[in-house]
A and B are shown apart, each in its own frame.
Chain A
Amino acid sequence: MSTAAEPKLVSPAAQSGGIARLLRKYALQIAVVLVLLALLAFFIWRSPQTFLSYDIYNSLMSTTPFFALMAIPLTLVIIAKEIDLSFGSIMAWGMAAFDVVFVTTQSVWLGFIACLVAGLFAGLLNGLIVVRLGIPSLVATIGTSFLWRGVVMVVTNGQGMGMTPVRSTLLYPLLVGRIGGVVPAQFVWTIIIAVIVWFFLNRHLFGAHVYLTGDNVDSARLMGVDVERTKTLTFVIVGLVAAFAGFIVSEEVLFFWPTLGDGYLLNTLASVFLGGTSVFGGTGTIFGTFFASFIIALINPGIVAAGWTAYWTQLIYGLIIVVSVSLQALLRRRLA
């Protein structure tokens, strides 16, 4: 490539209709934000006493991170055209590691580190089973999901554990405190993790390879992309963040239930797919996942406040997954 001075390229398209093109490029992200705002407006209209008070937003900011945290790295896995269904069990497995290490050493910090390492290891195991043995990730992670849940049950003997000792350490205000007495710390952590993952996905070699691997694994391999390492790393990140999320949930409710993580599968997956990440791999955004997770979080209190039964929630989550995945398939067919 020559280094000679180049005449500045003037793109005609950039001059005329640049805004239109930006709109088209970010259509999905804009749509997700609009849906969130529309839903919010609808609930405010239906139930102003609930949705005009701070309480509901405090509750949303403190509980949405429970699954939004995992939806963010899970986006990487799905862009790479894999899936991970084991993150719920990894949450509990991380806490079981905390349990054991804390009981032995009486150190909250050592327990916290053990929790993260356990999550990382569980992610690595997922990655190795999928990449080295070539097991479809759907099957592999259903397997490890039962495996880790079983380990947790055996290790804890099915007994939970109070998390009050953590209250006296810096970890408590750091992870689940209320910043300025108002903003839950876990909400800030969700933003921080979203920004970090966004950076690695869009501005780092790793993210470039995640997109290429999911888009066309053969092309990526031919062009020298280490698709095995890339896929493994996405699983490792999900494992690490799932353990972190498990710690935050247990801290927030001040108790570790061995069933921790059960019931997060549906809303986490719904967040990723509603956020526009394609089940066919190769496309998806952290921005979409982040905002979609708040749409998902809003549905439950919204339904209750609107006077319907909470039984509707599951139906609507399921519907969201089916509709967004079907829309992706239709969109893909139109492009092909």
Chain B
Amino acid sequence: MEYLLQLKNVSKTFGEVAALRNVNFEVGRNEIVGLLGDNGAGKSTLVKIITGYHQPDAGGEIYWKGERVPRLTVHKARALGIEVVYQERALADQQSLWRNIFMGRELRNSWGVLKVDEMRRATEKLMRTEMHFTSSAVTAESTVATFSGGERQGVAITRALHFQAELIILDEPTMGLSLTETQKCLDFVTGIKAAGKSAIFIDHNILHVYPVVDRLVIVDRGTVAGQYMEQDITLDDLIERLKHLARTGTLENSVPAGK
């Protein structure tokens, strides 16, 4: 089977610290993968390698639709269709909504002159169709500092979805959200599946991750400790195994990585 994304033997060391060690990780087409693991397990590093922010150490390989990507950069990852909703939302608070939506890929002509009106119009359209902003006080020129947590998440998600993503990475998307906002966010993940796209869903809360994913990958101390198909394991069993992992450092009866 050809994967949408495949990481082979990826390691990443920062100075003396090995954040990832020989990780093999893949995402299938139209698959939602849940990434679980403790703080510092390597989830964020893994995400930043997939988004081109960090380069893996020598020996690690990244494949997109079966083809090797020799040097994945942020721009390359985006061009391929990899989008991220970052934990900290990656917004610029004092800038207007439209500048945030188009951050890092501003519409411009070949001289670099911005197509400001085009970006404003596109943002206004997204506000009605995607973000469902109802307050008339909010315009494309509003600064995002005035937005609520849910609205900010809406901006980050809309931004990821707007640019024809094939793989959407959600890094702790429910953090700091209210119950209704969290439900909206989970609906959004289900929507990705329905739209035929793939996603990597990272969250501390197993109760959020479990119901919306196809496969669960557990990361521990820089390695993939194991993975389960969602239908093969009950939520209670999963929680028990994670507790066991925390105590002993190994998962019981886990499906070997890569199968």
Contacts and interface: CB of A to CB of B under 8 A. Distances in A.
Nearest to A225: B104
A205 B86 CA distance: 23
Contacts of B128: 9
B52 to A, nearest CB: 8
Contacts of B125: 1, 6, 9
Interface string A1-38: 10000100101110000000000010000000000000
B78 interface: yes
Contacts of B113: 203-205
B136 A11 contact: yes
A222 B95 contact: no
A223 B95 contact: no
Q: Most chain-A CB neighbours within 10 Å: which of B89, B108, B114?
A: B114
Chain B interface, DSSP helix/strand/loop, else mixed: loop
B91 A216 contact: yes
B141 A25 contact: yes
Contacts of B92: 211-212, 215-216, 219-220, 282
Contacts of A225: 103-104
Contacts of B257: none
Contact of A224 (B95, B105, B145): B105
A179 interface: no
Given A1-B162, A223-B103, A9 B124 contact: yes
Interface string B108-137: 100011101000011011001000000011
A93 B84 CA distance: 47
B141 A12 contact: no
Nearest to B76: A224
B229 interface: no
Contacts of B95: 211-212, 215, 282
Contacts of A1: 122, 125, 162
Given A205-B106, A225-B104, A218 B78 contact: no
B182 interface: no
A285 interface: no
Interface string B171-191: 000000000000000000000
A219 to B, nearest CB: 4
Nearest to B119: A208
B41 interface: no
A20 B188 CA distance: 37
B88 interface: yes
A291 to B, nearest CB: 21
Contacts of A283: 94
Given A25-B141, A222-B53, A223-B104, A206 B112 contact: yes
B38 interface: no
B235 interface: no
Q: Most chain-B CB neighbours within 10 Å: which of A12, A206, A219, A283?
A: A219
Contacts of B104: 212, 220, 223-225
B94 A218 contact: no
B139 interface: yes
Contacts of A223: 74, 90, 103-105
B136 A224 contact: no
A243 B137 CA distance: 46
A150 to B, nearest CB: 37
A133 interface: no
A182 interface: no
Contacts of A221: 53
B99 interface: yes
B65 interface: no
B8 interface: no
B67 interface: no
A315 interface: no
Contact of A215 (B74, B84, B93): B93
Given A205-B114, A218-B90, A223-B90, A211 B124 contact: no
Given A13-B137, A205-B114, A212-B92, A224 B74 contact: yes
Contact of A216 (B78, B93, B137, B139): B93
Interface string A202-244: 0111101001100110111111110000000000000000000
A204 B114 contact: yes
Nearest to A219: B90
B173 to A, nearest CB: 15
A46 to B, nearest CB: 39
Contacts of A218: 88, 90
B75 interface: yes
A240 to B, nearest CB: 18
Contacts of B94: 211, 215, 282-283
Contacts of A11: 124, 136, 139
Give the top 4 A-B pairs by smallest Cβ distance, nearest first. A223-B104, A224-B104, A215-B92, A224-B74
27 contacts: A1-B122, A1-B125, A9-B124, A9-B125, A11-B124, A13-B136, A203-B114, A203-B116, A204-B114, A205-B108, A205-B113, A208-B99, A211-B92, A211-B95, A215-B92, A216-B91, A218-B88, A220-B104, A221-B53, A222-B53, A223-B74, A223-B104, A224-B75, A224-B105, A282-B93, A282-B94, A282-B95
Given A212-B103, A215-B95, A220-B104, 12 more contacts: A6-B125, A204-B112, A205-B112, A208-B106, A215-B94, A216-B90, A219-B92, A220-B92, A222-B74, A223-B103, A224-B104, A336-B145
